[in-house]
Amino acid sequence: GAGVSQSPSNKVTEKGKDVELRCDPISGHTALYWYRQSLGQGLEFLIYFQGNSAPDKSGLPSDRFSAERTGGSVSTLTIQRTQQEDSAVYLCASSSPTDPGLAGFYEQYFGPGTRLTVT
């Protein structure tokens, strides 16, 4: 079946503008994650949605970052008033079952990422 998809693949924006990044998880996957990959910070967790539970936002670097997940499927990561340090590849991942006892619970499948460049 189809994997995790992300759009756009590349985004160039001017400092101070808002951007929205989209993630379509694998159909049926209940958990969705956003990570950021940058030269200085490596791979960092941003936010995690699991079913209908409140999201884990502990990795969001500032209040300029927010994310929502509509209908338990598609997610949008929004960065307001972008700064140059926001330039990075934003990766989305999804995982399947809701039962931690199942082996697949912790397997995250990643999309190709959105490369964001803030000029």
Partner 1 sequence: AQSVTQPDIHITVSEGASLELRCNYSYGATPYLFWYVQSPGQGLQLLLKYFSGDTLVQGIKGFEAEFKRSQSSFNLRKPSVHWSDAAEYFCAVDSWGKLQFGAGTQVVVTP
> What are the residues binding partner 1 (CB under 8 A)?
4, 31, 33, 35, 42-43, 45, 48, 50, 56, 59, 91, 93, 103, 106-113
Nearest approach, Cβ of residue 100 and partner 1 (Å): 8
Nearest approach, Cβ of residue 15 and partner 1 (Å): 25
Question: Residue 19's closest CA among 2, 6, 32, 38?
Answer: 6
- Three-state helix/strand/coil letters over 44-65: EEEEEEECCCCCECCCCCCCCE
Long-range CB contact pairs, 42-51, < 8 A, 24+: 43/91, 46/77, 46/90, 47/77, 49/75, 50/98, 51/98
Nearest approach, Cβ of residue 45 and partner 1 (Å): 5
Query: How far apart, in whole angstroms, are the C-alpha atoms of residue 56 and residue 37?
Result: 19
Nearest approach, Cβ of residue 13 and partner 1 (Å): 20
Whose Cβ is closer to partner 1: residue 91's or residue 118's? 91
Whose Cβ is closer to partner 1: residue 20's or residue 44's? 44
Whose Cβ is closer to partner 1: residue 71's or residue 101's? 101
Whose Cβ is closer to partner 1: residue 20's or residue 56's? 56
